[in-house]
Structure 1
Amino acid sequence: MAEIRIRNTNERITGEENVREFLNGQGVLYEHWDTSKLPEHLREKFVLSDEEKNEILQAYDAEIRDLAGRRGYQTWDVISLSDATPNLDELLKKFEQVHTHTEDEVRAIVAGKGIFIIKGKPEVGYFDVELEAGDVISVPEGNPHYFTLMENRQIVAVRLFIEPAGWVAHPYEDPEFQKA
């Protein structure tokens, strides 16, 4: 279940309803999908073949199509990152820069853990959203943020896009941002 840490105050928000309420107040969509739908043999697997990625998409087809229908997403895929990913540290450096997009950044975590660092409303500032299997988040277009892995450095997520080519990151310089 997702947890939030507000960086300015170190306050933590836990519990699905509390997390959803906070994120909705920041304009961020949060949902939770049933993790039991993921086939057992894929639950702790972080190096995936194309067939296994398709199996994940099939397992969550109803949820993906529901979310896509409500939010206008046109295409989706599966991303898998772990220490077995070639050039993982270089890839993470690219991810770990505050940026914006011209469409939502959507992740449905199906295995592992990840964290979004998001700029909230002025009274909140930046906050961390620690995600695990079942958590679904959509950071709205134009909202400064970045995504990275947590200490276990393993994640499998479904990504949804409006543009078939996917999203492009636009760097966002912000003197208010401080790495934790």
Structure 2
Amino acid sequence: MAEIRIRNTEERISGEENVREFLSKQEVLYEHWDASKLPQELQDKFVLSDEEKSQILDTFETEIKDLAARRGYRTWDVIALSDATPNLDELLKKFENVHTHTEDEVRAITAGRGIFIIKGTDDVGYFDVELEAGDVISVPEHKPHFFTLMENRQIVAVRLFIETEGWIAHPFSDPAFQKQQ
């Protein structure tokens, strides 16, 4: 289940309803899918064949199509990252810069853990959303954020897009942002 850490105050928010309420006030969509419906052999697998990625999409087809219909997403895929991913550290450096997009950035976590760092309202500042299997998040277009892996460095996620070529990151320079460990 997702947990939030507000960076300015170190306050933590947990519990599905509390997380959903907080994120809703920040204009971020949060939902939870039943990750246990994924076949056991894929629940802790982070190097996937195309066939296994298709199996994940098939498993969550109802949820994906429901979310796509509600939010206008037209295409989706599966991304898997782990220490076995070629050039993982270089890839993460690209992710770990605050940026915006001209469409939502959506992740439905099916295995592993990841974290979105998002710029909230002025009274909140930056906050971390720690995600695990079953968590679904949509960071709205133009909202400064970035995504990275947590200490386990393993994640599998369904990504949904409006634009069929996927999103493009637009760097966001913010002197108020401080990287934290």
Q: TM-score range by the shorter chain?
A: over 0.9
1:29 to 2:29 alignment: yes
Which amino acid is 2:30 matched to?
Y
**Distance of 1:96 and 1:166 partners within structure 2:** 18
Q: Are 2:94 and 1:94 aligned?
A: yes
Structure 1 residues 148-169: Cα deviation after superposition (integer angstroms, max 9, x where no partner): 0000000000000000000000
Which whole-Å CA distance do the structure 2 matches of 1:39 and 1:55 have between them?
A: 9
Percent identity of the aligned residues?
A: 79
**Partner secondary structure for residue 175 of structure 1:** coil
Q: Spell out, residue by residue over 1:12-38, the C-alpha distance to the aligned partner (whole angstroms, 9 max, x if none).
A: 001000000000000000000001111
Residue 74 of structure 2 corresponds to: 74
Q: Deviation above 2 Å: which 4+ runs of structure 1?
A: none
Give the TM-score of the pair, scaled to structure 1: 1.00
Unaligned runs of 5+ in 1: none
Which amino acid in structure 2 is aligned with residue 81 of structure 1?
A: L
The residue that corresponds to 2:10 in the other structure is 10
Tell me the distance in 2 between the aligned counterparts of 1:100 and 1:143: 6
Q: How does 1:2-151 map to 2 (within 5 A)?
A: 2-151=2-151
* Unaligned segments of structure 2, at least 5 residues: none
SS at match of 1:167: coil
RMSD, matched Cα:
0.3
Between the aligned partners of 1:41 and 1:95, the Cα distance in structure 2 is 28
Deviation at 1:121, TM superposition (A): 0.3
Q: Deviations over 1:46-90 (max 9, x none)?
A: 000000000000000000000000000000000000000000000
C-alpha distance in structure 2 between counterparts of 1:29 and 1:138, whole Å: 5
Alpha-carbon displacement from aligned partner over 1:126-176 (angstroms, at most 9, x marks no partner) = 000000000000000000000000000000000000000000000000011
